[in-house]
Amino acid sequence: MAENDDASRGPVSRGGLAPQPLFAVAAVLLGSFLTNVDSRLTTVGLPDLRGAFSLSFDEGAWLSTAGIGSQILIAPAVPWLATVFGLRRVLGIPSLVYAIISLIIPFVHDYQTLMVLSVIHGLLLGTFVPATLMIVFRNLPIRWWLPAIALYSIRVGFALDTSSSLVGFYVDHLGWQWVYWQSVVIAPLMGLMVYLGTPNEPVNRVLLREADWGGMLLLGAAVSMIYAGLDQGNRLDWLGSGTVMALLVGGAVLFAGFIVNESLVRQPWAHVNVLFSRNIGLGLILILLYTLTSLSNASLVPNFLAVIALLRPEQSGLLLLTYGALPMFVLVPISIWLLRHFDARAVVVVGFACFAAANLWGTQLSHDWARDDFIGIVLLQAIGQSLTLLPLIITLLSNSDPSRATAFAAYIQIMRLGGAEVGVALMGTWLRVREQVHSFYIGQNLEVGDVNVVRALKQLADHFAAHGAGSAEARAIGTLASFVAREANVLAYIDGFWLCFWLAISALGFTALITRAPPGPFTPAPFGFAKMLLRKCGVAVT
């Protein structure tokens, strides 16, 4: 067993203060942006990449799974690696290697080589966000934490809202290769910011001798296998596929092995004791619910515009860029100001309420909705993204020991990556099943010989007869079938918005269970009327 409670909470992760905090914040911004935009670009641009690399549908699916799965494999261990080896070593050379591989990949035509390079590409990419988060915990003065974590927290929403436009711009104007080549410019710049903004730290040889390599490997392999099973589940029919079952069961067994390992080793790397706090446990659940709730922005809106409105990514991306990404430049400073003066729980409530309102609005969907009909929904989602994740992370930090951030950051990475993929798999399955259900019920009302059906088919056949009487009847039947499919899809997307709405409502319920954090550096400073009211109640206010 672990020798004492102090050791079971993970290694101390204090570091030297950044000599140039602005460079350190720039490194956080670039690392966060690069990771999420790169991952999202390869997902949104997968159809174009399949065509460019001459891949089958199955090969393209495994290419995407390999790239993101390798990120998940390495990401939980990166905070420990940064604590032991220093951020310059973890981010410096890897950023240059990552740029070289990003330059090479578009020239590869052999599938096996492409898969190997994609795995290495993903492993390197998986180090960036966890390592840049450790810059905040280890090297920045606490007064810099709020703006730096704000940049970290909005990266997901910003990447979701800009990736579609970027893919369209690259494919139409610069070439699909720039999906990879943008990293050739950004990654070395991030490495330079890390070098300028973080101190040169020696290798922590004490921690290195006590390394829990088994625990890191077990957790990374477990979460990446579970992700691969979820990612391939819809395509391979879930429990009907031996591959999916092997991945899910194997991942669960390895995760159980990780729990046992952390309970037995002398110096556990990320013991679950770090989660044995009411507020921390609830905070991580809320991060998962935030990830699931924000699927309405990540999945429902752009997919509806692609499937029903038949828009290209760059066409739907303009909506997300203009009303989703750009407003964050105003919303993030507002979020920081709110957290300085109001309880983080109140800010979280406002954020989830905006998500709930946006999803409730989405339940009024119809096949007539065009791009501009989603402006209000996307704006509300942008507010929700700006006012939810940042205060949740501040809540977790307020209820934990920041000097023990190594273990804490490992679990944040699990919720960040694992939660997102659970959400994507959940939403994909939900939409597929609900479309099948609605298609069945609509089809029950289209009986052969029904007067309305006959009338509709005759009108369609008369319309197509001018273009060829012989095929008019078949085209009429096909068109009616497409109408059924369209309406079934619309109803499925409405159900998707309802699902996200109830997830947001449940998040509000969990938020109500969080207790006030102990006094600390993130305790808000009331002002004006609130400050006067607290003084009258006998509460000391600074």
Q: pLDDT tens digits, residue range 42-84?
A: 666 677 778 878 888 888 888 888 888 888 888 888 888 888 8
Model confidence band, residue 469 (pLDDT cutoffs 50, 70, 90): low
Right CATH number for 16-205 from 1.20.1250.20, 3.30.420.40, 3.40.190.10, 3.90.1150.10? Answer: 1.20.1250.20
Domains 16-205 and 276-440+496-542 agree in fold? yes
How many whole angstroms separate alpha carbon 73 and alpha carbon 219?
8
CA angle (292 as vertex; 438, 178 as ends), nearest 5: 100
Q: What is this structure's pTM? A: 0.79
Question: Phi and psi of 199, rounded to 5°?
Answer: -75, 155
pLDDT tens per residue, range 257-295: 988 888 888 877 776 776 667 888 888 889 888 988 887
Q: Is the pLDDT of residue 377 over 80?
A: yes
The pLDDT value recorded for residue 402 is 59
Q: Is the pLDDT of residue 349 over 80?
A: yes
Model confidence band, residue 254 (pLDDT cutoffs 50, 70, 90): very high
CB contact set of 195 (below 8 Å; sequence gap of 6+): 88, 92
CA dist list (Å): 328 to 153, 158, 179: 11, 8, 24
The pLDDT value recorded for residue 169 is 78
Question: Phi and psi of 335, rounded to 5°?
Answer: -60, -45
Cα-Cα-Cα-Cα dihedral sign, residues 284, 286, 292, 296: negative
pLDDT tens per residue, range 85-139: 888 888 888 889 999 999 998 898 888 998 999 899 888 888 887 777 777 777 7
Q: Is the pLDDT of residue 511 over 90?
A: yes
- Looking at the chain, the whole-number percentage of residues with pLDDT higher than 90 is 18
CATH no. for 276-440+496-542: 1.20.1250.20
Comparing 69-83, 87-101, 305-319, 497-511, the range with the smallest average pLDDT is 305-319
The pLDDT value recorded for residue 537 is 54
pLDDT tens per residue, range 192-223: 888 888 888 888 888 888 888 888 899 889 98
Quickly tell me which residue has 């490997």 as its tokens: 217
The pLDDT value recorded for residue 401 is 65
Question: Phi and psi of 449, rounded to 5°?
Answer: 90, -10
Question: 3-state secondary structure string, 475-518?
Answer: HHHHHHHHHHHHHHHHHHHHHHHHHHHHHHHHHHHHHHHCCCCC
Query: How many CA atoms lie less than 13 Å away from 436 in the CB half-sphere?
Result: 5
Rg (the chain; Cα; Å)? 25
Cα 478 vs. chain centroid, distance in angstroms? 38
Domain ranges for the chain, please list them.
16-205, 212-268, 276-440+496-542
Cα 32 vs. chain centroid, distance in angstroms? 11
Model confidence band, residue 348 (pLDDT cutoffs 50, 70, 90): very high
CA dist list (Å): 182 to 35, 144, 185, 188: 12, 28, 6, 11
DSSP helix/strand/coil, 105: helix
Cα-Cα-Cα-Cα dihedral sign, residues 206, 209, 210, 212: positive
Q: Which of 287, 283, 276, 390 is nearest to 333 (CA)?
A: 390
Q: Is the pLDDT of residue 540 over 70?
A: no
The pLDDT value recorded for residue 455 is 72
Model confidence band, residue 408 (pLDDT cutoffs 50, 70, 90): low
Write down how long the chain is.
Answer: 542
Q: Is the pLDDT of residue 428 over 50?
A: yes
